[in-house]
Amino acid sequence: MDFFPIFLNIRNKSCLVVGGGAVAERKIALLLKSAADVVLVSPELTHDLTTWRDMGRLNHQARGFQDEDINDRHLVIAATDNAEINRHIAELAHAKRIPVNVVDQPELCSFIVPSIIDRSPVVAAVSTGGASPVLARLIRSRLESLIPAGYGRLADLCNRFRQRVKDHFSKPEDRRLFWDRVLEGGVAERVFSGHDEEADQLMERLLADPRLDQEMGEVYLVGAGPGDPDLLTFRALRLMQQADVVVYDRLVAKPILEMTRHDAEHVYVGKERDKHAMRQEEINKLLARLAKQGKRVLRLKGGDPFIFGRGGEEIDTLAAEGVPFQVIPGITAAAGCATYSGIPLTHRDYAQSVTFVTGHLKDGSMNLNWDMLAQPNQTVVFYMGLVGLPVICRELQAHGVAGEMPIALIQQGTTHMQRVFTGTLENILETVERERPKPPTLIIVGHVVELQEKLAWFEAPPHSEQGATSPVDF
């Protein structure tokens, strides 16, 4: 290693920064977060540095650097735009054995400032030894997606229970195994989901009987979004990769399903029109039963679980059964498909509201509030409406919507199989007869569709039957 990794305690310690530009501002921001006593020497300051000075957060000397400025400092940062001054500061600091950092000149540094992931009190630092700060930031951004924001609260919990665990387990190996179970099990997930009180209660029970953590698992109700794996949330991805069992729907995109743990058990519960692999009530009971077996269960649903996803029914059962669960929202099909097709759902000049409805036929009809859906200056999005499209076009016009009203059909939106068909309520059925779109296809009705050709930014490659499948049957 070119540099020895170390964390310094500079709380209330005098730290000198020379320079008042943007680089100095970034360094001072970190020093202030570490509760350092910052002395800043510079004739001029940035706006934020001026604000911090006026707030009394730092001691500003409005002049150039003087050799005696370095006396009695615990740390020095040279951040001027003059290479000779920076070198001189470094030489003085080295002579007094004071840790010094010279911005963008690693050969003059006795320490470097790494790229930081702050989950205080948990802090991770990434460094390339000054070779490539951009690479360090790139690595940090990757790690940011893997380290939940709740890790700081989890560290606080560990600190609170540390002595009690040490007193309870006399052997270091037993303590290590206990903490492994805590940090990879239900306690950690309760902290990450914001249930700190439940986490404390579970810790109390585990200390009374360490076997309890094997008696109850948890259900993760995760929204998989509209198809593009890049639209998954960080939290969804983390839970997908730690679940023991994956319960998934018919149209969860294959690339998304492949991002789950490879050794996890996969249970298919997909539904097709008039053909269900498993009834909803059976799915609800399955989730509860698997969790009660001590398993971490991923319920992977297309789009968002709470928008036509029946997620509320599933967690209602879990709550009644006393099974821990957490819900991770996903990008719903309306938002994802509209964005990828270049159709803003609202626009100041075209639509001031948006309505989501299900267009699923029941007994050959749709029991919808057509008067409400026919109101002007709005966008209406129909999920699961392809089969019922003739009814949608007929009823909207019958309730006062002009036949020239624009309409768009978005097939397998956000994926490489995306196709967009536009027309009007009067002629869209001719397009359907000619193009034969297939589910999943989302329907958007409103003047915002007029913007589609102008604002379309996503281009799917030439149509191929080998493409990804979108996960929402709409």
* Binding site feature residues: 22-23, 43-44, 226, 302-304, 307, 332-333, 384, 413
Spot the catalytic one: 13, 37, 156, 271: 271
Q: Among candidates 100, 54, 51, which has minimal Cα distance to 79?
A: 100
Cβ atoms within 10 Å, residue 441: 27
CB 219 within 8 A of CB 323: yes
CB 300 within 8 A of CB 192: no
Residue burial 175-196, b: 16+ Cβ < 10 Å; e: rest: eeebbebbeebbbbbbbbbebe
C-alpha–C-alpha distance, residues 418 and 24, integer Å: 48
Distances (CA, A) of 2 to 75, 91, 299: 20, 20, 46
* Binding site feature residues for S-adenosyl-L-methionine: 226, 302-304, 307, 332-333, 384, 413
Q: Among candidates 154, 145, 162, 161, which has minimal Cα distance to 193?
A: 154
CB 327 within 8 A of CB 306: yes
C-alpha–C-alpha distance, residues 341 and 337, integer Å: 6
249 tagged catalytic = yes
CB 300 within 8 A of CB 222: yes
Spot the catalytic one: 249, 295, 301, 473: 249
230 tagged catalytic = no
Residue 60 tokens read as: 């500003």
C-alpha–C-alpha distance, residues 145 and 230, integer Å: 12
Residue 225 tokens read as: 């979004």
With the C-alpha atoms ordered 49, 52, 53, 58, is the resulting torsion angle positive or negative? negative
* Binding site feature residues for NAD(+): 22-23, 43-44
The gap between the terminal CA atoms of the chain, to the nearest Å, is 55
Any idea which residues carry the catalytic annotation? 249, 271
